[in-house]
């Protein structure tokens, strides 16, 4: 059973773990904006608006979440370790994050997900997110919202 017992800020050595995840064709195709990972990490690590955390099930890295804190919305992106996809880890990561006291100040979460990414859409909806609009934007993304 999927279980997330801790989060920790992403550290540079963990980029090696992410590199392995990007060997998965679907992860690489959907998250190619993060490549090259070392440049992406340098950028988000400097930006005070961004937080990147790894989610662990014991010692196993189960996934990571990227959060961009804005004035009105906090955008969240999620990657589940390809070895653990379709096992409930994405939903567990989201539920644990949403209930984490460190993020109590967030009033509105938003996730932008490609219209054809049914697995991610279902994951976010299972965690309580709802579609902001039934039509995708000009880039093919649907926005899901959760107000707390």
> In whole angstroms, what is the distance from residue 130 CA to residue 121 CA?
9
Q: Is residue 114 part of a domain?
A: yes
Is 56 inside any structural domain? yes
Rg (CA), the chain: 14
Residue 68, domain member (yes or no)? yes
Q: pLDDT above 90 covers what percent of the chain?
A: 88
Q: Which domain holds residue 59?
A: 6-147
CATH of the domain at 17: 3.40.630.30
Cα 40–Cα 45–Cα 50 angle in degrees, nearest 5: 95
Work out how many domains the chain is built from and give that number.
1
Q: How far apart are CA 7 and CA 121, in angstroms?
A: 23
Convert the pLDDT of each residue in 29-77 to its tens digit: 999 889 999 999 999 989 888 999 999 999 999 999 999 999 899 999 9
Asked if residue 37 is part of any domain, the answer here is: yes
Scored b (16 or more CB within 10 A) or e, 28-49 reads eebbeebeebeebbeebeeeee
User: Does a structural domain hold residue 1?
Assistant: no
**CA distance linking residue 83 with residue 22, whole number of Å:** 12
* Alpha carbons 145 and 124: distance in angstroms, whole number: 9
pLDDT tens string 67-95: 999 989 999 999 999 999 999 999 999 99
Q: Classify residue 132: in a domain, yes or no.
A: yes
Answer yes or no: is 18 within a domain: yes
Average pLDDT (110-114) is: 97
74 in a structural domain = yes
């Amino acid at each position: 059973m999927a279980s997330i017992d801790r989060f920790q800020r992403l550290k540079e050595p963990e980029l090696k773990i992410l590199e392995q995840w990007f060997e998965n064709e679907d992860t690489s195709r959907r998250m190619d904006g993060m490549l090259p990972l070392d440049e992406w990490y340098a950028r988000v690590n400097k930006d005070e608006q961004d937080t990147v955390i790894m989610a662990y099930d014991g010692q196993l890295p189960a996934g990571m979440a990227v959060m961009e804190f804005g004035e009105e919305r906090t955008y969240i992106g999620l990657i589940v370790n390809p070895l653990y996809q379709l096992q409930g880890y994405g939903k567990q990561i989201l539920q644990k994050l949403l209930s984490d006291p460190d993020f109590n100040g967030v009033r509105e979460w938003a996730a932008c997900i490609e219209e054809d990414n049914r697995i991610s859409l279902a994951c976010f909806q299972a965690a309580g997110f709802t579609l902001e609009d039934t039509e995708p934007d000009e880039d093919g993304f649907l926005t899901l919202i959760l107000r707390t």
